[in-house]
């Protein structure tokens, strides 16, 4: 299996005495569906930013498709849903406009969308089940439906790697399950590598192939059912602070 992500002895610090990650080794194969979990402040978001090349490690190497992550040549193949405290806000944009922005941001074109690009936008909207709401203002939809629109925005760029940082923040339990099932379906249909980051993984546990627990370093990496019982209660992750 070819590797999408490879971290070799990665460490990261924001300054003296402010170590966030230490001795991280991680290899993610192309096409895997992986959950990254751990306590708040445990280094999950920093790990994601290093994977995406948005931060450079203080030590070690971070590779994307075999290239240094911070200067990988195929950045348009990355889909990233950053952590957000409020989904949607008061923006007047419609679902279609939000998803179209993902096509523009991919770097595949400059200016107006071509017919082919509009087709990819429409396809992404259909894939996430928002076709009936495509021309509705995003702010009028529920939190779960808004998050589906942001997933469609990432899909419009046809990514090979989709990274979601706390994608179910602010949505109810039913929507969390729905989003997890949506991602599992997309993984099966598209073969895209998915990294799902959260402080708990209950909604996605039955769908992912691997669970990676981060608490400054990687303290567990394997199938969710093999997680030691001390830390695992069905639907939740408990990682000692």
Over residues 218-230, the pLDDT tens digits come to 999 999 888 876 4
Q: Would you list the domain boundaries of the chain?
A: 3-237
- How much is the pLDDT for 213? 92
Average pLDDT rounded to a whole number, residues 111-131: 89
Contact 125, 95 (CB under 8 A): yes
Please identify which residue in the block is written with the tokens 């080794």.
25
How does the average pLDDT of the chain come out, rounded?
86
- How much is the pLDDT for 75? 81
Task: Give residues with Cβ within 8 angstroms of 141, minimum separation 6.
Answer: 88, 95, 133, 149
Q: How is residue 215 written in tokens?
A: 């608490």
- How much is the pLDDT for 230? 45
Its CATH class, for the domain covering 3-237, is: alpha beta
Strands (E), 93-168: 161-165
Q: How is residue 208 written in tokens?
A: 């992912």
Per-residue DSSP letters for 147-161?
HHHHHHHHHTT--SE
Average pLDDT rounded to a whole number, residues 54-66: 95
């Amino acid at each position: 299996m070819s590797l999408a992500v490879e971290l070799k002895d990665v460490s990261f610090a924001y300054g003296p005495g402010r170590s966030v990650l230490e001795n991280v080794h991680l290899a993610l194969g192309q096409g895997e569906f992986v959950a990254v979990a751990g306590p708040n402040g445990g280094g999950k978001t920093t790990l994601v930013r290093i994977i995406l090349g948005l931060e450079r490690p203080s030590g070690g190497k971070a590779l994307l498709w075999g290239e240094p992550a911070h200067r990988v040549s195929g950045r348009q193949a990355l889909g990233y849903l950053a952590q957000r405290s409020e989904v949607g806000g008061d923006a007047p944009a419609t679902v279609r406009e939000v998803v179209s922005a993902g096509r523009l941001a991919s770097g595949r074109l400059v200016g107006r969308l071509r017919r082919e690009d509009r087709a990819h936008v429409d396809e992404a909207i259909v894939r996430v089940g928002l076709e009936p709401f495509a021309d509705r203002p995003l702010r009028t939809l529920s939190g779960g439906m808004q998050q589906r629109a942001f997933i469609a925005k990432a899909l419009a760029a046809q990514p090979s790697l989709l990274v979601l940082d706390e994608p179910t923040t602010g949505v109810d339990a039913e929507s969390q399950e729905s989003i997890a099932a949506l991602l599992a379906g997309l993984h099966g249909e598209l073969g895209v590598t998915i990294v799902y980051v959260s402080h708990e993984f209950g909604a996605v546990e039955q769908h992912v192939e691997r669970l990676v627990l981060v608490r400054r370093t990687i303290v567990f990496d394997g199938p969710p059912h093999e997680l030691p019982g001390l830390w695992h209660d069905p639907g939740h992750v408990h990682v000692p602070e």
